[in-house]
């Protein structure tokens, strides 16, 4: 256990440890929900270490709030078959290049006893309780709060004829002049459109976040209506890579909402068509076409 827990937690949030999209400014990091978990490995550390960790976290309560806890694992004997189903086996994908968001570049080898061999029934119960409490008391309320805030921001930005006219004029100027920070940039043809992107704090980014959150929470009407507005904006900006992604999301919303299959098919076909155009201009964009057909 580190001597300075506050510094150890802060190190996890340094710029170099963030996922690539956050480092690039494509995704916002300021509004991300933070929950601090200190794992206690009972197989290699005694109960006195657990008591010391709990005392340290209690002292950090004034700084970190209630979003911190100790989770004890590996209190089993390590012999015999692992307890419970191997729920995590299918989730062990390859690591990101160079470690990605802070994880190692390669996963450690599977221990001789297999994954989860040291987990006891009490550990499994504690893990289940931790996930349930985190989802119900932290993640879902945060998602709902973020959804309401984004809805207010997007509605205020697009409200009224004056704002609509201003939006149209701004888009025309953005396409006719050189790009500025936070403004979508484009040049002629599909090659230029591939480079059009939106900053993390832009209205388009907020609209995409709003639609994604609504989709995750099962509000398919809000997701679809927001995505249709965003599709119109990204197409007007000739941001065809973003536009293709919106069409993919529209297809997913149609499937989840039980819409006619033709609606989802039309969105997926449009996404594939745009990805194909981009891949012709730049071979690096072929990944998008591959993902769209999976």
Give dist(CA 8, CA 248) in Å, integer.
39
What are the tens digits of pLDDT across the range 83-99? 666 777 777 777 776 66
Asked whether 253 and 224 are in contact (CB, 8 A), the reply is: yes
Angle at 289 between CA 287 and CA 291, to 5 degrees: 70
pLDDT of residue 263: 95
Give the range among 70-74, 114-118, 138-142, 190-194 with minimum mean pLDDT.
Answer: 190-194
Q: What percent of the chain has pLDDT over 70?
A: 74
280 vs 98, which has greater pLDDT? 280
- 28 phi-psi bin (left φ>0, alpha ψ -120 to 50, beta other): beta
Span 271-284, mean pLDDT? 81
| Residue 162 pLDDT level (bands cut at 50, 70, 90) | very low
207 vs 182, which has greater pLDDT? 207
Q: What residue spans in the chain does CATH classification 1.25.40 cover?
A: 144-292
Give the range among 8-12, 177-181, 199-203 with minimum mean pLDDT.
Answer: 177-181
* Whether this model's pTM surpasses 0.75: no
Span 271-287, mean pLDDT? 77
- 144-292: CATH architecture: Alpha Horseshoe (1.25)
Can you tell me whether residue 85 is helix, strand or coil? coil
pLDDT of residue 57: 83
């Amino acid at each position: 256990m580190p001597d300075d827990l506050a510094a150890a937690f802060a190190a996890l949030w340094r710029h170099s440890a963030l996922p690539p999209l956050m480092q690039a400014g494509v995704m916002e990091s300021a509004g991300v929900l933070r929950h601090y978990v200190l794992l206690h490995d009972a197989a290699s550390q005694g109960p006195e270490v657990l008591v010391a960790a709990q005392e340290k976290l209690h002292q950090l309560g004034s700084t970190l709030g209630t979003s911190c806890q100790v989770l004890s694992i590996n209190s089993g004997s390590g012999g015999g078959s692992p307890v419970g189903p191997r729920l995590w086996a299918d989730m062990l994908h390859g690591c990101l290049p160079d470690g990605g968001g802070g994880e190692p570049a390669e996963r450690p080898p599977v221990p001789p006893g297999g994954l989860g061999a040291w987990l006891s029934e009490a550990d499994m119960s504690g893990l289940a309780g931790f996930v349930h409490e985190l989802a119900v008391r932290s993640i879902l309320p945060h998602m709902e709060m973020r959804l309401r805030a984004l809805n207010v921001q997007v509605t205020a930005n697009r409200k009224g004829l004056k704002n609509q006219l201003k939006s149209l004029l701004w888009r025309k100027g953005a396409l006719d002049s050189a790009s500025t920070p936070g403004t979508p940039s484009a040049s002629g043809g599909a090659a230029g459109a591939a480079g059009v992107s939106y900053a993390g704090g832009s209205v388009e980014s907020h609209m995409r976040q709003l639609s994604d959150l609504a989709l995750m929470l099962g509000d398919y009407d809000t997701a679809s209506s927001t995505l249709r507005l965003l599709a119109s904006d990204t197409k007007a900006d000739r941001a065809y890579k973003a536009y293709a992604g919106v069409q993919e999301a529209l297809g997913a919303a149609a499937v989840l909402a039980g819409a006619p299959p033709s609606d989802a098919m039309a969105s997926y076909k449009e996404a594939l068509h745009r990805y194909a155009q981009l891949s012709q201009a730049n071979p690096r964009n072929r990944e998008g076409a591959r993902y769209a057909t999976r």
